[in-house]
Structure 1
Amino acid sequence: MIRTSIAGLLALTLAACAMVPLTSAHPEARLYAPEANAMADVDAAFARAAASGKRVLLVMGGNWCHDSRALAGWLETPRFAALTAQAYEVVYVDVGVPQTGKGRNLDIARRFGLDDMPGTPALLVLTAEGTLLNRDTATSWRNAASRSEDAIYADLAALAETPVP
């Protein structure tokens, strides 16, 4: 009797779970390429930025990280693509899992004055000359999946207009 009741309760629980949609509140993209020559990609973004008068948006993350995938997903939407096409040269850099000591391409972060990457993703906004404009917020994007579309957009739009020190 008890086993039958438990089995029935379990069946109801599983049925209820099956009815809950498994969609996330944000788009996701897997744009971090571990096999890429990240330093060459970054240098190419700076060359494009110098020629176009834009800033470099350096997105450092990993495909294993839901926050990194969420940020990359937002950047791929038409709304964000319009903003980045106007203001930024975007480059994605796979950084492995720096929180566990298994990071890669961390020399790129150090190149721009970030000695520590406590989590992923990190988002660096740089001038075409390599000046980091958001040192205070570059590593604060570890919660990108829980940020709203409008909040992320507002931050990127403001960073596009940040005066050069």
Structure 2
Amino acid sequence: MIKALLSGVFAALLLAGCATVAGKVAGGAHDYPEAESYLVSDDAEADVDAALARASENGKRVLLVMGANWCHDSRALAGWLSTERFTALIEREYELVFVNIGMPQRGDGHNLGIAQRFGLKELPGTPNLLVLTGDGKLVNAETATTWRDAASREEDAIYDELAMLSDKAV
């Protein structure tokens, strides 16, 4: 009986650590908005191709976010991108595409060929953020796979990086 009680208390504490409050999650020293945007598409490759075509037509870049709903860093990044501040930047400078990649670090990856198409041999974690020109050139090869700490990043730092990467001179 004591084991059952302790198990119940332990489970409650674990769930409390994952709870969201008013659309925000406490992420250590940071609070971030949380969203789920990594829907399983019937044809993620076609979604990317359509975004590339739109970007080519309108002089924008593609913001390709490869993550998963199970990942708090992916949900945090998706949450930031859905805020008013970020949507204004994205509407002005990017064609946004979310691609579900499952759990590549555990051998259960999805849509990994998309990353390989743009020169990334592997995705060590989630999320990954690829900025592409309309003709499919990867602009941020050095930083595309470094977003595994998105939930810990400051809003201004994320915004500043996306603003910098939208610059056509980069």
Structure 1 residue 127 and structure 2 residue 133: aligned? yes
Alpha-carbon distance, 1:50 to partner: 1.0
Distance 2:35 2:169 in 1: 30
TM-score normalised by structure 1 residue count: 0.85
Corresponding residue number in structure 2 for 1:49: 55
Q: Deviations over 1:113-140 (max 9, x none)?
A: 0001000000000000000000000000
Alpha-carbon distance, 1:162 to partner: 5.2
Distance 1:104 1:120 in 2: 12
Distance 1:98 1:116 in 2: 8
TM-score normalised by structure 2 residue count: 0.82
Q: Tell me which amino acid in the other structure corresponds to 1:90.
A: L
Corresponding residue number in structure 1 for 2:124: 118
Aligned residue pair count: 147
Structure 1 residue 63 and structure 2 residue 69: aligned? yes
Give every structure 1 segment of 4 or more consecutive aligned residues whose post-TM-superposition deviation is greater than 2 Å.
Answer: 21-24
**If each structure's strand is expressed as a fraction of its own residues, which one has the higher value?**
2
Corresponding residue number in structure 1 for 2:78: 72
Aligned equivalent of 2:158, options 152, 157, 160: 152
Q: Confirm or deny: 8 A CA contact 1:62 1:69 kept in the other structure.
A: yes
Aligned equivalent of 1:34, options 26, 37, 40: 40
Distance 2:42 2:125 in 1: 21
Distance 1:58 1:35 in 2: 14
Q: Tell me which amino acid in the other structure corresponds to 1:84.
A: I
Distance 1:35 1:123 in 2: 18
Distance 2:34 2:49 in 1: 26
Corresponding residue number in structure 2 for 1:95: 101
Q: Deviations over 1:5-56 (max 9, x none)?
A: xxxxx9xxx9xx8xxx954200011010124410010011011101111000
Q: Which runs of 5+ in 2 are unaligned?
A: 1-8
Corresponding residue number in structure 1 for 2:113: 107
Q: Confirm or deny: 8 A CA contact 1:34 1:96 kept in the other structure.
A: no
Distance 2:77 2:116 in 1: 22
What is the RMSD computed on CA atoms of the aligned residues? Answer: 1.7
Distance 1:41 1:80 in 2: 21
**If each structure's helix is expressed as a fraction of its own residues, which one has the higher value?**
1
Identity of aligned residues (%): 61
Find the structure with the greater CA-based Rg. 1
